[in-house]
Amino acid sequence: MSTLHSSTETSAKSWNSQLALDEHLLAGQNEAHVVAACDDSEHEQDNSAAVLDDVCLAFGTQEVLHRVSVSFRKGTTTAIVGPNGSGKTSLLRIVAGFTHPTVGTICWHDVANIAMAEQTISADFWMPLRVKDVLVMGRYVTTGAFKRLSKQDRHTIAEAARRMDVGDLLSRQIGELSGGQKRRVRLAMCLAQQADLLLLDEPESGLDITSQQRLFAEIDKERQRGAAVVFTTHTLSEAARSDQVLLLNHGAVVHGAASEVLQDDNLNKAFGLASTSGDANHPCGNCIFGKLNHLEPKLFDKQGQKPQWRS
């Protein structure tokens, strides 16, 4: 287990958020909170890969995350959704260990290997590096600085290339690729890493429809392998398929099962979406599954006619 302690004691800042989604948080906002050390036994039992306990993050005077307590369990997928600037990437970077929370703790349990695909890949990146070299880099996690690649490593690399459909790009220079291809290569590298905790920041951005479908299928395979997969997304339909959804809204947070979190009230507060009637035939009634047909355009109607974008 590894622990990142930011501050042992602090008084909670005055948090006056009309958009706060969680009543429990609202009730506790004026209490001074003490951050305790990680409790190993409890989280090992529920198979948690990473546990955030009352994590707050501020950049200067601007509060980005406010008392986020959530655990990411192995063999599950968690989608982090929220409007721009709500702290999705910051939260992901805290889970990766790159950013120290201003207050609160993060604990990792039996996580030997974390992989993260960042959202932006510099367009002017230049380096004499082939796609194959990038994928090989993913296995440095086992080979370190000196060991040669084993037969198993080579197999894993080839498999990762196949899974993200970059097999025909292996000898290409990374600088010659398009943005979407670079993204696929980066995701393939993460898969080659065979991480216990896989963090993906808007992984579908820049990918075509086929690649998006392939990506989310591979995310599911990673979950089945036993990895804890955490990804940020603006695609609510994909978030709805996750085991857990974390909805951030400028500090306020609500998390739980997709059908509980992606409800009208929460989405209205976070995104300002107008209320829609939903699909009355759907088993969960007014949940996001029923609403998706209204929120997201369908590509083709039942007769296979021209795409009709709904207002």
Partner 1 sequence: MEVLEAQWEWWFQPFVNHTLLQEALFASMLTVVSTSLVGSWITIRGMSFFAETLGHGILPGVAVAALVGGSTLLGAAASAAAVIVLLFVVRRYSPLPNDIVIGLLFVSTLALAVLLLSRSRDVFIERFLFGNVLGISSSDILQQGVIAAVIFLLMLLFYRPLIAASYNADVAALLGFNPRLVELGLLTMLTLAVVASFRVVGSLLVFAFLIAPPASAALLARRVQTMMFLAVVFGALSVFLGLTFSYHWGVATSAAMALCAAGIFFVCLVAVSLWHKISQTSTAKRMSRTTVFLGQAEPVASEQAAQKR
Interface contacts to partner 1, rule CB under 8 A: 96-98, 114-116, 118, 126-130, 133-134, 137-138, 140-141, 143-146, 173, 189, 193
**Nearest CB to partner 1, comparing residues 110 and 265:** 110
**Nearest CB to partner 1, comparing residues 145 and 280:** 145
Query: In this structure, how many other beta carbons lie within 10 angstroms of the beta carbon of residue 107?
Result: 22
Helical packing angle, 131-138 and 151-163, nearest 10°: 120
Q: CB 127 → partner 1: shortest distance, Å?
A: 5
Query: In this structure, how many other beta carbons lie within 10 angstroms of the beta carbon of residue 104?
Result: 25
Judge whether 87 and 110 are in contact, CB under 8 Å: no
**Nearest CB to partner 1, comparing residues 63 and 118:** 118
**Nearest CB to partner 1, comparing residues 122 and 210:** 122
**Nearest CB to partner 1, comparing residues 26 and 177:** 177
Strands 197-201 and 228-232, by their bridges, are parallel
Backbone angles phi, psi at 42, to 5 degrees: -60, -45
Judge whether 72 and 224 are in contact, CB under 8 Å: no
Rg (the chain; Cα; Å): 21
Q: CB 8 → partner 1: shortest distance, Å?
A: 25
Q: CB 253 → partner 1: shortest distance, Å?
A: 24
DSSP letter at 76 equals -
Q: CB 113 → partner 1: shortest distance, Å?
A: 8
